Structure formats: structure tokens, C-alpha cells
């Protein structure tokens, strides 16, 4: 017996009950509408016949309607024209893409794109060009060092270029961010660095007040820029530059150079006393030479950062190279973070981040991601984004770490005693020491227990000459062209080998092919009798040609040992 569907009929009691509920609901809605005062919009009664100038008013109303209709039509036409333009542009782009694919220009386009990237303003080549301009046009060069790792911020190529250039050029070292390092460590580094070059202790203002900042402070009284806008060591540096300018009897130009995120632009802002250069946490904010007038006798030249040589260690590249953490590859960032953690004491890192003990850097990143809630789908820790955040913390001013100066180290070969004496000539070193001690005494420092001990990788090699960057850029094109040539040669060799094998096989397979052709023709005539009877001569010729091509293709893939084996290709019907 088939199962019947349940009937939709209701009992009268239930149906009347539903109808009653609906009536009550409608009544309730009407009452609420009355209370709100929402009434139906009344129809426009129009102009009464007794009104004066009735005809004129009606004409004006008609004219308004016509104008509105004309405007709507114009807007429609404009929209249609814009849509047509967009369609044409899209069609042109599509045709261009199809042409490029057909002509095989994708490989050449990639190589051109890579070369063109180097020619942009934010490219490494332009950075080198602008840096060369600053070095050539400056009388005094200030090399800015991060007090947390001063040796890692020194570039031997840059120092050699300045010391060996001649023309009475001077090089000063600026030990910046001294407030992030313990006091004893700052004094040790000052004593170590002053043996080679005159060194100035400096604490730059990370955030200078300007018009926009004043507006913010007026609106929000809680914002306090006291700590960020304080700077120390500017008076000492200005005195040194002014004294050197008096000895030269001319207006001097001072170039500020260094690796990214050491505080070049913030030093210029603190010397000027207001925001003159753009400052940011991202690396490579300054992309071209900027001239800032301090006074009549001194000009300061802000330069883009020195580009780290890719031959450096992973640690040096992580801290000193221009990396865009948002767009950079996660593998390079992970390697950099691993190198940083391996060069620090594990206990201090655990204390700083408040994490349990970890075996390797990956476990450190996963535990930190879990603590901060950086998780992917399924509760998996997001290690890649966590590595980017950790790298930003280490390159910025959030983490307080310090490195010890080397106990005994020979000066580099370009720094002879004569060169050191030349660099120190014209500066009052006793006054400089006194001013440095005053700045060191005035600041608050973190305790060694709260900061992390860091093993410095040593001096970081940099690329200053533009020609080297051009060679690197042109290498991409050379590599691609060489790869293409190699691939073509390999294909030609493979084809020659295949054809040589096929020639040998064809000599042995001639007798078998003749037998196969005859059998194949007979099988095909049986399979398609109607078509074969109409033109038997043509069909035989066609089948023979097809069979030859099939036997050739089969013989190309077939090895020489299997000549007498059964041919499955002939028995396809």
C-alpha cells in the first residue's frame, strides 16, 4: 500500500482561530500607525481656477519638467559614453595581452619589468645615485650608528670612500638612540669609537611638533609628546660643525648617511628644531637627496639609506637591508628572525616576551603567536605574520638590546694612523668629550636586566657605486637569455638524438611496416564499406599515408631492442 501525503485540511476551530489572530494583528498595526501619525500622502489638488496667473504657473511647471527630463537624458548619454570608453580600453588591453602571448613576449616582458624596477625612484640604483651625490657635495659626512649595534651599522665601503676621497673631507660618527642602551655600554662604545673617528653621543627626537601636531594637542589634551620630542646632543654637534666652518672660511655642507632605520632624518629634525624631513617606522622613507638650511654657514643634506650587500649574513640583511615587511617574501623574514634569536640569550628573550622555554626559533614564534592571538583557521599559529611583527620590533625602537664592543681589534686597512689624525684635525676633542659626558649624564637609561644582550655580526658591507647595481640589474636579462639559449640547444640535441634513433629503427622496421599497411587497409575497408566503395583508390592512398605517420611516431618512441615485439598500434579497430 502506497503512503499518502498528509492532508492540508484544518479543523474549523483551528481555522477560525487563525483568522481571528490575523484580524487582531491588523487592528494592532492600524492603531500604531494612527499614534505615529503616518497618513497616506494626499494627492496634489493642483492650482485652483480662481488663482491669478494660473496659465503662467502651469507653463513654468511644464518647463521645469522638460528641464529635468533633458538633464536625465544627458546623464544617461554621459554614462553610456563612459561605459563605451571603458569597454574599448578593456578590449584594447585584451587584444594586447593576446598578441603578447602569441608572439611569446612574456619572458622578455618579465626581464624588462625587473630592469625597469631598478630604474624607479624607490629602486636600489637610484638610492646609490643619490648617495653618491651627497658624498660628492658634502664637506663633512655624518655616519649615523644605532647605539644598540654600532659595529653592525658601520659600512667599510662608505668609510673608505670618504677617507680616501681627499679634498679635506671629514667623517664624524653619530651614536644615536643611546636611551635604548645601558649607561655603561654607551660609555664603552664612545671610548672604543673615538680612537678611530670623532664620535658624538646623540638622542634624536622621534616625533617633532609641527602645525598638524599642534592641532592634535588642542583637540586631545591627553596626548603627550614630551618624551618623543626631547633630543640631546644637538648643541654639541652644532658647535663642532660651526667651529669646522670657521676654520674653512666658507659655508659648509654636511651629509648625513647610514643604513636604514638608524635615525638620519630624525637627527636633522632635532638639529633644525622642527619637522623638516619625513620620518617613519618603515625602511627607506627618504628616497632622494634633501637640502635643509640650518643657518647661513651650514646646509644639511639628507640621503637615502646605504644598501646592504646581499653577500652579508642573514642577521645583517635582516637588520640593515631595505625590506618591505608587508610585501616581502616570508622565507627571508623567517630566516632573519631565526638569525636574530640565535644571536641572543634565550633566557632574556623568554623574560622579555614572557614566554615558556622553547627549543628553536619556530617554536618561539608559534608560542608568541598563540599568546598574542595571531591564529589562522583551525587555531594554527600564524608564524609568518608573527615573524614580520618581531622583525619590525627589532628594527624599530621597541626592543632594548645592546652589544659589547670588541676587546682588541685592528683598525681596517684603509684607516692608517695618518688618516685617523687627518679626520680628528680641526675638532676640539676635549670639549667633545665633556659634551658627550654631559649628554650621557642627562638621560635615563634602561637597566641591563631589562635589556637583551646581542652578539653583533661585525661591520656590514654596503653597495655605494651605481655601476655595481647596474651589473646586478643587467644580470637578470643575461641569465634569462642564457637560460633560453641553453633550453633551445638542449631541445635541438634531443631532436637530433631522436631522429638518429628513428633512422636506425626505420631500416629494420621497413618489412614489418609493409605488412602492417596491407592489414590495416583491409581492416579499415571492412569497418567502413560504404565510404570505401565510393572511392577505393583515394581511401587506400589516405590510409597508407596515415599509417606511415603512425608507424613513424611509434618508431620514435620505441627502443631498438623491441623491434620484433607485437605492435599494438595496428590492432586499434
- Is pLDDT at 15 greater than 90 in this prediction? yes
**Mean pLDDT of the chain, nearest integer:** 75
Interval 382-417: pLDDT, tens: 988 898 888 888 887 778 888 888 877 777 778 888
CA angle 22, 26, 31 (to 5 degrees): 145
What is the CA 455 to chain-centroid distance, rounded?
28
- Is pLDDT at 296 greater than 80 in this prediction? yes
Over residues 112-120, mean pLDDT:
48
pLDDT at 226: 46
- Is pLDDT at 81 greater than 90 in this prediction? yes
Cell readout for 325 is 615587511
- For 543-546, the CB contacts below 8 A with 24+ separation are 543/517, 544/517
Query: Which value, to the nearest 10 degrees, does the dihedral of the CA atoms of residues 433, 436, 438, 442 take?
Result: -160
Higher-confidence residue of 378 and 112: namely 378
pLDDT at 242: 84
- What band does 13 get if pLDDT is binned at 50, 70 and 90? very high
Cα distances (Å, whole numbers) of residue 153 to 54, 161, 259, 262, 308: 88, 16, 6, 8, 10
Q: Are strands 290-293 and 298-302 parallel, antiparallel or unpaired?
A: antiparallel
Interval 301-324: pLDDT, tens: 888 888 888 888 888 888 887 765
- Is pLDDT at 1 greater than 60 in this prediction? no
Percent of the chain beyond pLDDT 70?
A: 71
- Is pLDDT at 22 greater than 90 in this prediction? yes
Interval 324-375: pLDDT, tens: 555 556 777 888 888 888 888 888 888 888 888 888 888 999 999 999 888 8
The CATH number of the structural domain formed by 314-395 is 1.10.1580.10
pLDDT at 288: 77
Sheet strand arrangement including 199-201? 199-201, 170-176, 140-146, 252-257, 298-302, 290-293
In angstroms, rounded to a whole number, what is the distance separating the alpha carbons of residues 526 and 522? 6
pLDDT at 328: 55
Interval 452-506: pLDDT, tens: 888 888 888 888 877 666 444 444 344 444 444 555 555 556 555 544 444 444 4
pLDDT at 208: 55
What pTM value is reported for the model? 0.58
Q: How many CA atoms within 13 Å lie on the side-chain side of 350?
A: 9
- What band does 443 get if pLDDT is binned at 50, 70 and 90? confident
Interval 147-183: pLDDT, tens: 899 988 989 888 888 888 877 888 889 998 888 889 8
In angstroms, rounded to a whole number, what is the distance separating the alpha carbons of residues 239 and 243? 6
Asked, colleague to colleague, whether 118-209+225-310+403-447 and 314-395 share their fold, the answer is no
- Is pLDDT at 12 greater than 90 in this prediction? yes
pLDDT at 488: 52
Distance separating the N- and C-terminal Cα atoms of the chain: 53
Higher-confidence residue of 2 and 293: namely 293
Query: What pairs with residue 243 in β-bridges?
Result: none
What is the CA 410 to chain-centroid distance, rounded?
39
Higher-confidence residue of 72 and 554: namely 72
Query: What pairs with residue 502 in β-bridges?
Result: none
Over residues 249-257, mean pLDDT:
87
pLDDT at 566: 45
pLDDT at 26: 96
pLDDT at 306: 87
Would you identify the CATH topology of the domain 118-209+225-310+403-447? Rossmann fold (3.40.50)
Interval 189-232: pLDDT, tens: 998 888 888 899 988 877 655 444 433 334 444 444 445 567 78
Cell readout for 302 is 639628507
- What band does 260 get if pLDDT is binned at 50, 70 and 90? confident
pLDDT at 17: 96
Cα distances (Å, whole numbers) of residue 437 to 46, 187, 201, 372: 92, 8, 9, 41
- Is pLDDT at 21 greater than 90 in this prediction? yes
pLDDT at 520: 45
In angstroms, rounded to a whole number, what is the distance separating the alpha carbons of residues 84 and 77? 11
Report domain extents, the chain: 118-209+225-310+403-447, 314-395
Query: Which value, to the nearest 10 degrees, does the dihedral of the CA atoms of residues 282, 284, 285, 289 take?
Result: 170
Q: Tell me which residue of 462, 476, 474 sits closest to 304, measured CA to CA.
A: 462
Cell readout for 164 is 680616501
- Is pLDDT at 267 greater than 70 in this prediction? yes
Over residues 222-247, mean pLDDT:
72
- What band does 19 get if pLDDT is binned at 50, 70 and 90? very high
pLDDT at 415: 81
- Is pLDDT at 283 greater than 90 in this prediction? no
In angstroms, rounded to a whole number, what is the distance separating the alpha carbons of residues 542 and 519? 14
Over residues 438-459, mean pLDDT:
85
- Cβ–Cβ under 8 Å, residues 225 and 192: no
Cell readout for 131 is 648617495
- Is pLDDT at 64 greater than 90 in this prediction? yes
Cα distances (Å, whole numbers) of residue 433 to 58, 149, 190, 298, 437: 93, 21, 9, 23, 6
- Is pLDDT at 436 greater than 60 in this prediction? yes
Over residues 259-270, mean pLDDT:
86
User: 54-68, 101-115, 185-199, 284-298: which has the minimum mean pLDDT?
Assistant: 101-115
pLDDT at 78: 93
Percent of the chain beyond pLDDT 90?
A: 12
In angstroms, rounded to a whole number, what is the distance separating the alpha carbons of residues 171 and 143? 7
Amino acid at each position: 500500500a502506497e503512503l499518502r501525503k498528509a492532508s492540508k485540511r484544518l479543523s474549523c476551530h483551528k481555522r477560525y482561530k487563525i483568522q481571528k489572530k490575523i484580524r487582531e494583528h491588523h487592528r494592532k498595526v492600524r492603531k500604531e500607525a494612527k499614534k505615529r501619525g503616518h497618513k497616506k500622502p494626499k494627492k496634489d489638488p493642483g492650482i485652483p481656477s480662481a488663482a491669478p496667473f494660473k496659465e503662467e504657473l502651469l507653463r513654468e511647471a511644464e518647463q521645469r519638467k522638460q528641464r529635468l527630463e533633458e538633464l536625465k537624458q544627458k546623464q544617461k548619454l554621459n554614462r553610456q559614453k563612459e561605459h563605451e570608453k571603458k569597454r574599448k580600453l578593456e578590449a584594447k588591453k585584451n587584444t594586447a595581452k593576446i598578441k603578447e602571448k602569441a608572439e611569446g613576449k612574456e619572458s622578455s616582458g618579465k626581464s624588462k619589468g625587473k630592469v625597469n624596477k631598478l630604474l624607479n625612484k624607490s629602486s636600489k640604483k637610484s638610492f646609490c645615485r643619490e648617495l653618491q651625490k651627497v658624498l660628492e657635495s658634502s664637506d663633512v659626512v655624518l655616519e649615523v650608528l644605532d647605539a644598540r649595534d654600532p659595529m653592525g651599522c658601520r659600512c667599510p665601503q662608505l668609510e673608505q670612500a670618504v677617507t680616501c676621497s681627499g679634498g679635506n673631507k671629514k667623517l664624524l660618527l653619530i651614536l644615536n638612540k643611546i636611551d635604548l642602551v645601558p649607561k655603561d655600554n654607551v660609555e664603552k662604545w664612545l671610548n672604543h669609537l673615538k680612537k678611530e673617528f670623532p664620535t658624538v653621543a646623540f638622542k634624536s627626537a622621534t616625533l617633532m611638533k609641527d602645525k598638524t601636531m599642534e592641532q592634535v594637542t588642542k583637540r586631545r589634551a591627553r596626548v603627550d609628546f614630551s618624551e618623543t620630542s626631547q633630543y640631546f646632543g644637538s648643541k654639541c654637534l652644532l658647535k663642532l660643525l660651526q667651529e669646522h666652518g670657521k676654520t674653512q672660511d666658507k659655508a659648509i655642507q654636511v651629509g648625513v648617511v647610514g643604513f636604514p632605520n638608524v635615525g638620519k632624518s630624525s637627527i636633522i629634525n632635532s638639529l633644525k628644531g622642527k619637522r623638516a624631513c619625513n620620518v617613519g617606522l618603515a625602511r627607506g622613507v627618504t628616497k632622494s637627496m634633501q637640502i635643509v638650511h640650518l643657518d647661513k654657514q651650514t646646509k644639511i643634506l639628507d640621503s637615502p639609506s646605504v644598501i646592504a650587500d646581499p653577500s652579508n649574513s642573514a642577521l645583517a640583511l635582516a637588520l640593515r637591508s631595505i625590506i618591505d615587511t608587508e610585501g616581502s617574501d616570508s622565507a627571508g623574514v623567517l630566516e632573519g628572525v631565526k638569525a636574530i634569536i640565535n644571536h641572543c640569550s634565550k633566557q632574556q628573550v623568554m623574560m622579555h616576551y614572557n614566554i615558556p622555554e622553547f627549543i628553536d626559533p619556530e617554536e618561539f614564534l608559534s608560542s608568541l603567536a598563540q599568546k598574542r592571538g595571531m591564529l589562522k583557521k583551525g587555531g594554527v599559529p600564524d608564524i609568518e605574520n608573527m615573524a614580520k611583527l618581531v622583525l619590525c620590533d627589532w628594527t624599530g625602537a621597541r626592543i632594548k638590546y645592546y652589544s659589547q664592543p670588541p676587546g682588541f681589534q685592528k683598525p681596517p686597512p684603509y684607516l692608517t694612523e695618518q688618516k685617523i689624525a687627518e679626520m680628528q684635525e680641526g675638532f676640539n676633542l676635549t670639549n667633545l668629550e665633556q659634551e658627550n659626558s654631559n649628554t650621557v649624564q642627562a638621560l635615563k637609561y634602561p637597566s641591563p636586566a631589562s635589556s637583551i644582550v646581542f652578539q653583533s655580526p661585525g661591520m656590514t658591507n654596503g653597495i655605494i657605486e651605481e655601476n655595481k647595481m647596474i651589473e646586478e640589474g643587467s644580470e637578470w636579462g643575461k641569465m634569462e637569455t642564457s637560460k633560453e639559449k641553453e633550453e633551445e640547444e638542449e631541445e635541438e640535441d634531443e631532436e637530433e638524438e631522436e631522429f638518429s634513433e628513428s633512422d636506425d629503427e626505420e631500416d629494420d622496421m621497413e618489412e614489418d611496416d609493409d605488412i602492417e599497411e596491407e592489414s590495416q587497409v583491409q581492416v579499415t575497408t571492412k569497418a567502413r564499406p560504404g565510404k570505401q566503395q565510393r572511392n577505393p583508390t583515394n581511401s587506400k592512398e589516405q590510409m597508407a599515408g596515415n599509417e606511415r605517420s603512425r608507424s613513424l611516431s611509434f618508431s620514435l618512441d620505441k627502443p631498438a631492442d623491441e623491434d620484433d615485439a607485437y605492435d599494438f598500434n595496428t590492432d586499434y579497430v
